[in-house]
A = this chain, B = another copy of it.
Amino acid sequence: MHMSSNKRVWLFQEGNAGMRDLLGGKGANLAEMTNIGLPVPPGFTITTEVCNEYYTNGKVLPAGLMDEVRAAIGTVEAAMGRTFGDPEDPLLVSVRSGAKFSMPGMMDTILNLGLTDQTIEGLIARTGNARFAYDAYRRLIMMYSDVVMDVPKEQYEHLFTELKKQLGVTQDTEVGADDLKRLCEEFKAHTRANSGRDFPQDVNLQLEGAIEAVFRSWMNDRACVYRKSEDIADDLGTAVNVQSMVFGNTGDDSGTGVAFTRSPATGEKTLYGEFLMNAQGEDVVAGIRTPMDIKVLSDMNAAVYAEFVEIAKVLEQHYREMQDIEFTIENGRLYILQCRAGKRTGTAAVKIAVDMVHEGLITREEAISGRITPKSLQQTMFPQFTEKPKDQILAKGMNAGPGAASGQIVLSSADAIRLAEEDPNAALILVREETNPDDLAGMLASRAVLTSRGGRTSHAALVARQFGIPTICGCDDISIDHRARTISAHGVTLKEGDWISIDGTEGIVYTGQLPSEAPKVSAEVGELLQWADDIRSLGVWANADTPEQAADALAKGAEGIGLCRTEHMFLGDRVPLVRKLILADTEDARQHALDQLLPLQRKDFVDIFRVMQGRPVTIRLIDPPLHEFLPKESDLLVEVTRLECADPNDARLSELRRMLDAVQSMHEANPMLGLRGCRLSIYMPGIVQMQVAAIIGAACEVQKAGTRVHPEIMIPLVGHVNELKWIKDRLEKTAQDTMKSEGVTVDYMFGTMIEIPRAALTAAEIASETTFFSFGTNDLTQMTYGISRDDAGRFMKLYVDENILPGDPTESIDRDGVGRLMSMCVNDARAANPSLQIGICGEHGGDPSSIEFCHSLGMNYVSCSPKRVPIARLAAAQANLAKADRDK
């Protein structure tokens, strides 16, 4: 929240660290440091409100602002004993942006402001260093012309380079005072020629222009793009910090540097940074000269180093956070120009937070709630490329499955399976327009997946996240030529078998093979998640379809299985049997196929129950439309047509035509809204009866062998309470019959998915008939939004780019629409059945913002892919702390 204030200009000694909204992060920290007695050059901050005023005024500075600025300059003049514009001993200042949230390098800065043809004489007189003074002046003219007068900086750099060429030197420092003075004249002439105006010789005009330029830079393109990518609101505005200059380039006892109080890469507790002697700060940032390690400073100036070490310690203790500190040494005297919380890798974030808890600096709750983002925790877990050469970038797409892998292009699942069988160590990357359930085995045989269509919740993305396959989706720059067996993008064409590298975390495809490294799960991560478990009240379960996935989920801390999809069990070598079942034209043939499937299916569940040791295992009855198990109509059509052309009497034709007929008769206009889910269970009850017999049979078997079991059988796609009743009545009977014939009773539940809007709207009725709800937010979002994730690729990106949607609703729960429905549903359901267990098993179950929302609704658990279980544990704890905070 913005503090409201009429005071537009705040001296550093008047502010504090709590005033980030008004003074920006930098200004608030400068104020705080000033007030805790650190050596900060005096200055003041113009508030973020002025920035907003500037824009609502139609880009005009508010009347009277410059009077307040003049008054503040007066105070600074008094503190420094110098006067702004004084030809004898001029006060010079820097003018910098400073928004609430750091936006490094995005906005404009002007240094050495206050130098003119007149005042430079005073600077020369005071420092006795004309070279230094003209160097400062040429920097000012260049920056000012670029930022305020719109003459590009590069042109000035070019002039300087030309001069160095003329002089036959390579280093800036080799250019003497006279040549720099000439350069300043040349610069001013260039500015005049290219802007039609003179570089201002009135220091107050200089200052006003600079302040306005900083405000203007709030809305420059790169700042807008950055804010969007970082979710920073446009109306926060930037503050402007005006601070007296100190110079790191006045000689060899001057210098400048940047240092972190701990390593931002690993989190190790050691000063981490670099400095340059006889240089301005921009020289460090620009990387023109190679800076030295901060620790070398202790050799060069032990006293200054000791003072800096002490200040670093004071700042970290004061802020109870790792600090990123900018400093300047002017003639042997240390100044702190800026401090802020240091950016860090995920690994460092975790280690620093855990260490600080052990050091007693922060509490466990603070470590969880404020220090670690789910994103940074995630980073600690996925392999990453150690090199990312820009010139090898082939294309960009949606970062659907994080992680990194290199491999050889393969264009069909069948080939991927074959190649992986031939060489289990083959590194393959499956490249497809899109994937469907038939591609699962091919995807699992690949190191990474790249699709040219489909979004973050497309089939490929779902599988990617669940199985932890680095995946890029919807990469529409890529076109695939199946005839030529090539892929191309941006004029580059690669053959099947060529190497590419997939950075699924960033969504970037590289040509060639890049080195990557696997993450170690550190002790700190384990400890942090243990604390998260102690704090959170929301359960964290996992979506797992196989015993291996279940074991992985358990190892990552899952407390149950929230979604075990049974349709994957109908793929692979069971496909022929399943096709027999679907195509059966007699009851006998159907039952025969079911009888053969039963023991296989039962074995699937036995293995999972054994792994889960009595923890809840939520098994969803078969959900997809049956035609997904049959060949594709277009493939069959082409095959039949070709055979007919070649030989109309070909013996294979009759069988193929039968299959084609079956596929065509099962064709659906909108399969998502067709004969699937519980509708199948009513239309063709044999399959789910077989499934329930298998589930309960398996449970009995495992329990008889001494392991506890707790199956929760989930009926998908219920829209009307009567569907649930009809099915449950019949399946309860199957369950009872099975237990009777096994001679044992197991503890099981029947529940339903809430994935159809109508189910949420009539939750009270449905809740009275069942023991648990599990939100299937994938379908619920698609139906509530009327958007099919498979088809959204073409417009969803446009929608997000054009700000039509605040974000992709298949990524984070859309709270206004889908969320409102969920909230009504939970309230109505709990009122009707207070003991109802409510969870979520859609992809949103692993999304931190959605987890927070689920917690706020009072759900019992979230279920997500095993990979995301640690993140969910953290997010659930954070949700608890955030709610506790709000409830205060």
State which of B669, B761, B790 has its C-beta within 8 Å of the C-beta of A672: B669
Q: Give the shortest distance, in Å, between A432 (CB) and chain B (any CB).
A: 14
Taking a contact as CB atoms under 8 Å apart, the answer to whether A785 and B719 are in contact is: yes
Taking a contact as CB atoms under 8 Å apart, the answer to whether A673 and B672 are in contact is: yes
Q: How far is the CA of A552 from the CA of B818 in the complex (A)?
A: 42
B-contact 0/1 string along A752-772, CB 8 Å cutoff: 000111100110010000000
- The stretch from A17-25, A300-308, A464-472, A800-808 touching chain B is A800-808
Taking a contact as CB atoms under 8 Å apart, the answer to whether B799 and A784 are in contact is: no
Q: How far is the CA of A538 from the CA of B669 in the complex (A)?
A: 36
Taking a contact as CB atoms under 8 Å apart, the answer to whether A673 and B786 are in contact is: yes
Q: Give the shortest distance, in Å, between A759 (CB) and chain B (any CB).
A: 8
Please indicate the chain B residues that have their CB under 8 angstroms from the CB of A818 in the complex.
758
Q: How far is the CA of A804 from the CA of B726 in the complex (A)?
A: 7
CB closest chain-B residue, reference A765: B816
State which of B679, B785, B794 has its C-beta within 8 Å of the C-beta of A758: B785
Please indicate the chain B residues that have their CB under 8 angstroms from the CB of A722 in the complex.
803-805
Q: Which of A675, A755, A758 has the most CB of B within 10 A?
A: A758
Q: How far is the CA of A783 from the CA of B765 in the complex (A)?
A: 20
State which of B674, B782, B804 has its C-beta within 8 Å of the C-beta of A788: B674
Q: How far is the CA of A785 from the CA of B637 in the complex (A)?
A: 33
Please indicate the chain B residues that have their CB under 8 angstroms from the CB of A758 in the complex.
784-786, 814, 817-818
| A window 634-659: CB within 8 A of B | 634, 637-638, 641-642, 645-646
State which of B641, B682, B799 has its C-beta within 8 Å of the C-beta of A645: B641
Please indicate the chain B residues that have their CB under 8 angstroms from the CB of A756 in the complex.
784-786
User: Considering only CB atoms and an 8 Å cut-off, how many residues of chain A contact the other chain?
Assistant: 57
CB closest chain-B residue, reference A458: B669
CB closest chain-B residue, reference A791: B674
Q: How far is the CA of A668 from the CA of B791 in the complex (A)?
A: 6
- Tell me whether A425 is interfacial, beta carbon within 8 Å: no
Please indicate the chain B residues that have their CB under 8 angstroms from the CB of A762 in the complex.
816-817, 820
Please indicate the chain B residues that have their CB under 8 angstroms from the CB of A805 in the complex.
720, 722
Q: How far is the CA of A795 from the CA of B787 in the complex (A)?
A: 23
State which of B634, B779, B791 has its C-beta within 8 Å of the C-beta of A634: B634
Taking a contact as CB atoms under 8 Å apart, the answer to whether A804 and B720 are in contact is: yes
If over half of A's interface residues share one DSSP class (helix, strand or loop), that class is named, otherwise mixed; here it is helix
Given contacts A641-B645, A761-B817, A818-B758, contact A682 B802 (CB under 8 A): yes
Please indicate the chain B residues that have their CB under 8 angstroms from the CB of A792 in the complex.
674
Taking a contact as CB atoms under 8 Å apart, the answer to whether A791 and B671 are in contact is: yes
Taking a contact as CB atoms under 8 Å apart, the answer to whether B675 and A794 are in contact is: yes
Q: How far is the CA of A820 from the CA of B758 in the complex (A)?
A: 9
B-contact 0/1 string along A239-258, CB 8 Å cutoff: 00000000000000000000
- Tell me whether A229 is interfacial, beta carbon within 8 Å: no
| A window 538-577: CB within 8 A of B | none
Please indicate the chain B residues that have their CB under 8 angstroms from the CB of A791 in the complex.
668-671, 673-675
Please indicate the chain B residues that have their CB under 8 angstroms from the CB of A642 in the complex.
641, 645
Please indicate the chain B residues that have their CB under 8 angstroms from the CB of A646 in the complex.
645
Given contacts A757-B783, A782-B673, A816-B762, contact A788 B720 (CB under 8 A): no
Q: How far is the CA of A633 from the CA of B804 in the complex (A)?
A: 32
Given contacts A719-B787, A761-B820, A786-B673, contact A679 B795 (CB under 8 A): yes
Q: How far is the CA of A156 from the CA of B799 in the complex (A)?
A: 78
Q: How far is the CA of A779 from the CA of B779 in the complex (A)?
A: 16
Please indicate the chain B residues that have their CB under 8 angstroms from the CB of A820 in the complex.
761-762
- Tell me whether A723 is interfacial, beta carbon within 8 Å: yes
Please indicate the chain B residues that have their CB under 8 angstroms from the CB of A788 in the complex.
668-670, 672-674
Please indicate the chain B residues that have their CB under 8 angstroms from the CB of A786 in the complex.
672-673, 717, 719, 755-758, 779, 783
- Tell me whether A175 is interfacial, beta carbon within 8 Å: no
Q: Give the shortest distance, in Å, between A208 (CB) and chain B (any CB).
A: 36
Give chain A's interface residues, CB within 8 Å of chain B. 633-634, 637-638, 641-642, 645-646, 668-675, 679, 682-683, 717, 719-720, 722-723, 726, 755-758, 761-762, 765, 779, 782-788, 790-792, 794-795, 798-799, 802-805, 814, 816-818, 820-821
Interface pairs (6), CB distance under 8 Å:
A719-B787, A757-B785, A757-B817, A761-B817, A761-B821, A765-B816
